[in-house]
Structure 1
């Protein structure tokens, strides 16, 4: 799988996105666990599939950039690029 060197939400999300990308790139199928014969993406058009995969690729790229970033403010800006303005920008706290 994808090794996680730190244990936090950022790493978990990045690893999950990479695993999803790998699986869906090999075979674009998503079945319900309780009804394995029901394929959830069978009616998706090529355009819808491509758009989804492009957004997933963007998530993986931004996640990798955020994880490499040493400055927490800049890292949070990478996540804002993905999730929008509702995602909080990191705020520094000064010791009193």
Structure 2
């Protein structure tokens, strides 16, 4: 793997922003890969503008690009395919290490669907908060108050 300096330069030069950190990292990795596939250089952005990759042997270059390909593939799977946060976090941990936190063992598509289903009852003022901290239309709980804070 390249030095931390090289990885920092690549990350800074190819950073892609997104509201979600996982998508931002995925897109940044894809941008780095695209650049290095066409031009395998990493110039220091200061005098004397050394290329940190100029002394890389073919084997070292191939090893780095192969590992970058695997990282990009796992990032894509974690963001676009895997619906369970815990399983997605395992993909990230393969490349970022075991200090990368575990995600929740939750199916995010199912959770999103449940939240969207609640949206109508919350907005129509028919939602009730239950003792187990869930929101339902079961009137045994505490009736939710209408939302009155519209920003500003």
TM-score range, shorter chain: 0.7 to 0.9
User: CA 1:37 to 1:92, structure 2 compared with 1: closer, same or farther past 3 Å?
Assistant: closer
TM-score normalised by L of structure 1 = 0.82
| CA distance 1:92–1:74, shift in 2 (3 Å) | closer
Q: CA RMSD in A?
A: 2.4
Say whether 1:78 aligns with 2:101: no
For the 8 Å contact 2:41–2:52, the answer to whether it is kept is yes
- Runs of 4 or more consecutive aligned structure 1 residues displaced over 3 Å after TM superposition: none
Moved more, 79-88 or 43-52: 79-88
Summarize the alignment of residues 17-96 of structure 1 with structure 2, pairs less than 5 Å apart: 17-35=29-47, 37-68=49-80, 69-91=82-104, 96=133
Select the structure of larger CA radius of gyration. 2
Higher relative contact order (CA 8 A, sep 6+): 1
Q: How many residue pairs get matched?
A: 93
Q: Quick one: structure 1 residues 37 and 88, their matched pair in 2 at CA, closer, same or farther if it must change by over 3 Å?
A: closer
- Is the CA contact (8 Å cut-off) linking 2:84 and 2:104 kept in structure 1? no
Instruction: Tell me the TM-score normalized by structure 2.
Output: 0.54
